[in-house]
Amino acid sequence: MKVICTEKSQILATNLAKVLKTTVTEVKYSRFPDGEQYLITRELDDETIIVGSVVDNDALVQLLLIIDACDSSKNRLVLPYMGYARQDKRFRQGEPVSARAIAQALSRGVSEIITVNIHEKEILRYFGVPARNITLAYDIGSYIKTLNLDNPLILAPDEGALAFAEHVASTGRWDFDHLEKNRLSGVEVRMAPKQLCAASRSVVIVDDIISTGGTIATASGMLYQQGAKDVFAVCVHGVLTGGAYVRLMASGIRDVVCSDTIERGCSKISAASQIARVIKKSDPEKNKKE
Ligand code: R5P
């Protein structure tokens, strides 16, 4: 079994290959004069783990080209971050269900798909092949332990992320809660933990995605006003668009950390071991022997 990856998922793929005790296949990339992408790999295997996050349109095209180049029905696709997943419904007439369009395109040419903290589990049914989702809640919990915080409060930025915050908190038996927005007047909004008090506590805001960082930056300012000692932000997918990292650090957040599903300077958590665990479990050869 070999691993192959797109350019933007090289570090995760290399870490994954190490855990799987295999190597990453080399790919040569170039472009046609009109800008279209071209790639070639010379080390084809009949069972390859393809790793590629859809972080932008180029990464999506590269992933489709790699799937086609590898050309074996035994190949499995690891989709650490699935861009376009937030448009998972037709909210208004005439819109696409983008998550479905991307899921269907990526299902052609692979036997199974593994996603990581996919935005909405319902998206899994859009893939044309069996798809499973793993969570990095445990790994985020392990990272938080390295911060040696005294009795931290794990906070979800909204009620929708509460189950994730609960899962993270369970790894260290920490308190957890979610932020609630209360409109004080026409212009004034207050964000505070729904049940618990942030005063004198270290708070870790956890979420699946940090995109613009807008919600967390506002929350951090308010948590400090409520007396929080430190505020940290930890997410799975660091989309960090439009200067989000700078905005978050300027809001007083002590550190912003994400995993390597999107490779960033602040990717301090690796998805490699969780992905490897699922791959080993679903290895058809290994399962035959057992
Ligand atoms: C929303 O559904 C996601 O889970 C994140 O909470 C959201 O994408 C974060 O967005 P932003 O960083 O732009 O506030």
Task: Write the CATH number for 233.
Answer: 3.40.50.2020
Phi (first) and psi of residue 61, to 5 degrees: -65, -45
* Alpha-carbon dihedral 240, 243, 245, 251, rounded to 10 degrees: -130
Which mutation among 84, 211, 218, 247 tests ligand 1's pocket best, with the greatest number of atoms within 8 A of CB? 211
pLDDT by residue, tens only, the chain of 290 residues: 999 999 999 999 999 999 999 999 999 999 999 999 999 998 888 899 999 999 999 999 999 999 999 988 899 999 999 999 999 999 999 999 999 999 999 999 999 999 999 999 999 999 999 999 999 999 999 999 999 999 999 999 999 999 999 999 999 999 999 999 887 777 777 888 999 999 999 999 999 999 999 989 999 999 999 999 999 999 999 999 999 999 999 999 999 999 999 999 999 999 999 999 999 987 655 544 44
Q: In angstroms, what is the span from residue 207 Cα to ligand 1's centroid? A: 8
Long-range contacts of 144-151 (CB under 8 A, 24+ apart): 144/168, 144/171, 144/172, 144/174, 144/204, 144/232, 144/234, 145/171, 145/172, 147/202, 147/204, 147/232, 149/202, 149/204, 149/230, 149/232, 150/202, 151/175, 151/201, 151/202
Q: Is there a single domain that holds both residue 148 and residue 67?
A: no
Give yes or no for a contact between 267 and 259, defined as CB atoms under 8 angstroms apart: yes
Q: Kindly list the catalytic residues.
A: 181
Q: Is there a single domain that holds both residue 93 and residue 7?
A: yes
Q: In angstroms, what is the span from residue 259 Cα to ligand 1's centroid? A: 16
Beta bridge partners of 210: 238
Q: Is there a single domain that holds both residue 56 and residue 76?
A: yes
The number of CA neighbours under 13 Å toward the Cβ of 89 is 6
Angle, CA 269 vertex, CA 266 and CA 273 arms, to 5°: 150
Q: What is the pTM of this model?
A: 0.93
Q: Is there a single domain that holds both residue 94 and residue 167?
A: no
Which residues constitute the domain of residue 226? Answer: 137-269
Q: Is there a single domain that holds both residue 196 and residue 52?
A: no
Q: Which residues contact ligand 1 via a Cβ below 6 A?
A: 157, 161, 207-215
Identify the CA nearest to 128 among candidates 113, 149, 145. 113
Q: Is there a single domain that holds both residue 120 and residue 7?
A: yes
Q: Is there a single domain that holds both residue 46 and residue 107?
A: yes
Q: Is there a single domain that holds both residue 254 and residue 280?
A: no
Tokens read off for 227: 């007396």
Q: Is there a single domain that holds both residue 156 and residue 198?
A: yes
Q: State the DSSP code for 198.
A: -
Q: Is there a single domain that holds both residue 185 and residue 263?
A: yes
What is the distance between the alpha carbons of residues 152 and 216, in angstroms, rounded to a whole number? 17
